[in-house]
Amino acid sequence: MWDESTLSELSRRRELAMSGGGAERMEAQARKGKLTARQRLSILLDEGTFTEIGDMIMPRITDFGADKKSAPGDGVVTGCGKINGRLVFVYSEDFTVIGGTLGECHSKKICNIMDMAAQMRAPIIQLEDSGGARIEEGVSSLSGYSGIFLRNTRLSGVVPQIAVILGPCAGGACYSPAICDFIFMTKKTSLMFITGPQVVKSVTGESVTAEELGGAEMHREKSGVCHFVYDDDRECLLGVRKLLEYLPQNNSSAPSRVRGRETDDCAALEDKIPENPRKAYDVREVISAIADKDSFLEVQEDFAKNAVCGFFRLDGYTVGVVANQPSYMGGALDCGASDKLARFVRFADAFNVPLLTLVDVPAFLPGLREESMGIIRHGAKLLYAFSEASVPKVTVILRKAYGGAYIAMNSKEMGADIVLAWPIAQIAVMGAQGAADIIFKHRIASADDPAKEREICVKEYEDKFMNPWIAAQRGFVDEVIAPSETRSRIAAAFDLLREKKVAAIEKKHGNIPL
């Protein structure tokens, strides 16, 4: 028989690891509206599936009294578990232990889990709640971040990577989430910034609050860093579970088919979508009419509102959708919208998610501000993303499709497999008003009644070019369809493209215009 003290010691050490930074610090965490590292994992993962790895690791450093503040696990809980029955690897930083700061052993635990995720080809989810680099450990701490960033990059496009910001995430720590595919944040408790308010004040003289500098609302609406925002830890973690339902396990598999409530509300679109191209509507109504009922999950809803992207299901299959939003800025493409859509397209292509493009775009947004911000470079990202994507690609031209923006929104010659158009679609270099002023300039100027002649010229241009028939005759549109046929035609198109294979051109990698 074993000595009873041996097992008692095991129990004592396990209990010490489970207690994190102690009851007092856990209570302080709760007062801030935050869950503990282990409570978060219990919500994120299926019940009883978590297997912890490295729970008794301790830091080696003793300088500056670091040994008196340390605890088993070194401020991060790592392991694997299941979400809806699927294997995932996770790490959850523990703010109750030295502020969740990252040191040598802390980072080694994270890198170990990331390596296991690579070997098992399973998603990795990182729950961030950390004061950043552990100052007491100096360069070892910085080196730890380097190893994490390297693995984030190597895993990019191999397995889904999701970062969940549930507290502070400052300095170099921000770059690991930034390399991930999706970032989740919570209102009031999440913070992300490279330099905090005090440093900003001392360097630039600006007075700014932490929330203004790096809160969830700022990153959701202005910077575009964040993809999803929720009210609290629990809702945020349930949101992660929901997103994973649309994603595959890795780049060698496809998203699972999930039978839901199929519907077809496309017949109502003729009444909802104005024929007049100058009148606005919400493109989400079109997406909802096409999608299986209640299956649309929008990504970056409050950033670059002139574009909409997200996931939905069609006959149970996951589809990625990118669309212009006529109800905001007329649906014109600017720098933010180009980045938003390009990033989403590249994710979908990396993980075998078919792409639907809904087009109602007047132009790339003109003006000094956009040009000086590099609209040429940003717009080129969208062109590059669509051109490179090899997944099934279906495009539907709803109304306007003008100029370079028409090309950028996955036109036929940009690689769309199937292009459909509604009868009210207008495919042209520019709108009729501007085109008439250029083409018929002298005719209008020499007329007895220039205003009336201009109306005649506009009508003449509209009749000749502002319709889908010429594009269909020349093969740039595969089929003109009624709105009521939209869902069925899209479903049929994706069905025939299900086994699409594209031979890649041999090269190390392209040079996307970042």
Q: Two tokens at 230?
A: 């929720």
Per the annotation, the verdict on 132 as an active-site residue is no
- Catalytically annotated residue among 138, 147, 157, 404: 404
Q: Using CA atoms, how far apart are residues 251 and 353, in angstroms rounded to an integer? A: 10
Burial class (CB in 10 A: 0-12, 13-18, 19+), 436: buried
Q: What are phi and psi of 449, to 5 degrees?
A: -125, 85
What 3-state class would DSSP assign to 164? strand
> Locate tokens 């003449």: which residue?
460
Q: Using CA atoms, how far apart are residues 156 and 253, in angstroms rounded to an integer? A: 15
- Catalytically annotated residue among 21, 100, 132, 171: 171
Smallest Cα–Cα separation from 178: which of 132, 140, 217, 126?
126
> In angstroms, what CA-CA distances link 276 with 94, 333, 360, 425, 461?
56, 20, 12, 10, 16
Q: Using CA atoms, how far apart are residues 77 and 45, in angstroms rounded to an integer? A: 13
Region of residue 64 (phi > 0: left; psi between -120 and 50: alpha; otherwise: beta):
left
Cα dihedral across residues 349, 353, 356, 357: positive or negative: negative
Q: Note whether 132 and 171 are within 8 A (CB).
A: yes
Smallest Cα–Cα separation from 185: which of 220, 161, 149?
220
Q: What are phi and psi of 273, to 5 degrees?
A: -100, 115
Q: Two tokens at 136?
A: 């007491």
Smallest Cα–Cα separation from 379: which of 353, 414, 351?
414
Q: Note whether 71 and 20 are within 8 A (CB).
A: yes
Tally: H helices and E strands in the chain: 22, 17
- Catalytically annotated residue among 405, 408, 425, 493: 405
Strand 355-361 vs strand 317-324: parallel, antiparallel, or unpaired? parallel
Q: How many other CB atoms sit within 10 Å of the CB of residue 252?
A: 11
- Catalytically annotated residue among 138, 147, 157, 172: 172
Q: How many other CB atoms sit within 10 Å of the CB of residue 302?
A: 14
> In angstroms, what CA-CA distances link 32 with 297, 320, 346?
29, 37, 37
Per the annotation, the verdict on 22 as an active-site residue is no
Q: Which amino acid is at 296?
A: F
Per the annotation, the verdict on 172 as an active-site residue is yes
Q: Using CA atoms, how far apart are residues 10 and 17, in angstroms rounded to an integer? A: 11
Q: Note whether 299 and 227 are within 8 A (CB).
A: yes
Q: How many other CB atoms sit within 10 Å of the CB of residue 462?
A: 17
Per the annotation, the verdict on 21 as an active-site residue is no
Which residues are part of the catalytic machinery? 171-172, 404-405
